[in-house]
């Protein structure tokens, strides 16, 4: 569904902050808790809520309903206040996805789609419960983009993820003993195969005592593990993105786009957009618990940037138990998952008043405060819930 037409270019975006002209905003209906093996849930989800992550288990109906109201309101503000063209995905019964095994949600399109220049890239999801997510919810939008491009005589490309044939091997050697299937066999050394070490050539140079929750047997990546800074994409390895996934992305991107890997220090890494937040060209806010200024400066694209650590730890802020629904899948660093409308305007959750005032006073930003706590409960905020399809030139 398209809410407003006011741009002739179907896709064109190479950064996170140029004037926004068109975007996808997700849909929360029928969302389920992701169902992945226990070791993956332990690696990525808050401990308190681990029991909720089981097959075909829906999020509470009131939270989903209010999340859809928040998404609808967000879409209205984008169209009516800013004149932005908004696409909405098809409503999907996620309990019937994956041949009845269950899916996740249509509320977080950033995880599965990314526009780089005039190319749309679909993620090679690591999570089995997300197989078919883009096909089910976003095919109409992708087909519309191609149709509009043909009418305009523009050359655009939609790079669909390859189909996984047979058994998904990403968890081979990583499952808990109780999860092993009869056909699972140990490695030749007689011990379980480990995941990707953090000190692998493409990963962190820092020694750590853990490995990722997936191996490197096939390409895997979520688009939300990457951000665009002109012709340079900055990404990270994570519990859902492996070296082969990075190699795949490099192979499908058109010239002159390149991918560089940021070495983070986040044990629970999954999606870079709650670790770094570019406000405008030359200014970036980051989580100092997950990445250092030294590491950011290692990348030429940030050489002359104003790099600001968030000067407080959101996890240490006190809040009343009844202030909002549970954050089933996220930490309070979700505050950095904001979305820029342009270099002067940013959208944040309305309860993040300390963050909003800091952006206004420190950077002179116009802050649009919108309700989004129920969407937060499903696993993301404004950046996660969108895909920017068209951004103007700076």
Q: What integer best gives the mean pLDDT of the chain?
A: 90
- What pLDDT is attached to residue 159? 97
Is pLDDT above 80 for 209? no
Q: pLDDT-derived band of residue 1, with 50, 70 and 90 as boundaries?
A: low
- What pLDDT is attached to residue 189? 30
- What pLDDT is attached to residue 319? 60
How far apart are the C-alpha atoms of 87 and 25, rounded to whole Å?
Answer: 6
Helix, strand, coil shares of the chain, percent, nearest 5, are 30, 20, 50
- At 125, list the tokens: 């999801």
- What pLDDT is attached to residue 272? 98
Q: What is the mean pLDDT of residues 367-381?
A: 98
Q: What is the mean pLDDT of residues 103-129?
A: 97
Q: What is the mean pLDDT of residues 18-34?
A: 98
User: Are the C-beta atoms of residues 59 and 33 closer than 8 Å to each other?
Assistant: yes
pLDDT tens by residue, 158-169: 999 999 887 889
Three-state DSSP state, 221: strand
How far apart are the C-alpha atoms of 277 and 168, rounded to whole Å?
Answer: 33
pLDDT tens by residue, 102-111: 999 999 999 9
- What pLDDT is attached to residue 336? 98
Is pLDDT above 60 for 207? no
pLDDT tens by residue, 215-264: 999 999 999 999 999 999 999 999 999 999 999 999 999 999 999 999 99
- What pLDDT is attached to residue 193? 37
Is pLDDT above 90 for 5? no
- Helix (H) or strand (E) run with residue 62 in it: helix 61-80
Helix residue ranges, H only, 131-226? 133-152
Q: What is the mean pLDDT of residues 313-318?
A: 88
């Amino acid at each position: 569904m398209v809410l407003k037409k006011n741009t002739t270019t179907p896709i064109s975006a190479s950064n996170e902050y140029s004037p926004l002209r068109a975007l996808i905003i997700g849909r929360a209906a029928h969302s389920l808790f992701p169902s992945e093996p226990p070791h993956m849930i332990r690696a990525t989800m808050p401990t308190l809520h681990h029991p909720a992550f089981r097959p075909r288990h829906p999020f509470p109906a009131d939270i989903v309903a209010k999340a859809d109201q928040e998404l609808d309101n967000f879409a209205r503000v984008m169209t009516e206040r800013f004149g932005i063209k908004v696409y909405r995905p098809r409503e999907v019964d996620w309990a019937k996805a994956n041949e009845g095994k269950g899916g996740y949600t249509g509320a977080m399109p950033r995880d599965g789609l990314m526009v780089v220049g005039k190319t749309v890239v679909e993620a090679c999801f690591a999570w089995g419960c997300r197989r078919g997510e883009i096909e089910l919810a976003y095919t109409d939008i992708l087909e519309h983009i191609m149709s509009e491009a043909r009418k305009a005589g523009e050359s655009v490309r939609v790079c669909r993820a390859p189909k996984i044939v047979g058994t998904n091997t990403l968890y081979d050697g990583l499952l808990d003993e109780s999860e092993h299937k009869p056909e699972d066999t140990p490695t030749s050394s007689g011990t379980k195969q480990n995941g990707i070490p953090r000190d692998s050539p493409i990963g962190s140079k820092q020694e750590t005592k853990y490995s990722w929750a997936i191996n490197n047997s096939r390409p895997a990546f979520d688009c939300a593990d990457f951000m665009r800074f002109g012709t340079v994409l900055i990404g990270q390895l994570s519990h859902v993105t492996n070296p082969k996934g990075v190699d795949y992305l490099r192979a499908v991107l058109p010239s002159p786009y390149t991918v560089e890997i940021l070495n983070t220090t986040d044990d629970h890494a999954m999606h870079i957009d709650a670790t770094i937040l570019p406000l405008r060209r030359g200014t970036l806010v980051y989580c100092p618990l997950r990445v250092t200024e030294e590491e950011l400066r290692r990348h030429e694209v940030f050489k002359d940037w104003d790099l600001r650590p968030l000067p407080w730890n959101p996890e240490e802020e006190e809040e009343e138990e009844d202030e909002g629904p549970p954050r089933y899948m996220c930490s309070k660093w979700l505050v950095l998952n904001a979305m820029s409308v342009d270099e002067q305007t940013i959208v944040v959750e309305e309860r993040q008043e300390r963050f909003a005032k800091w952006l206004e006073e420190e950077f002179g930003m116009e802050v649009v405060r919108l309700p989004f706590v129920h969407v937060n409960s499903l696993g993301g905020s404004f950046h996660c819930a969108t895909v920017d399809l068209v951004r103007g030139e700076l």
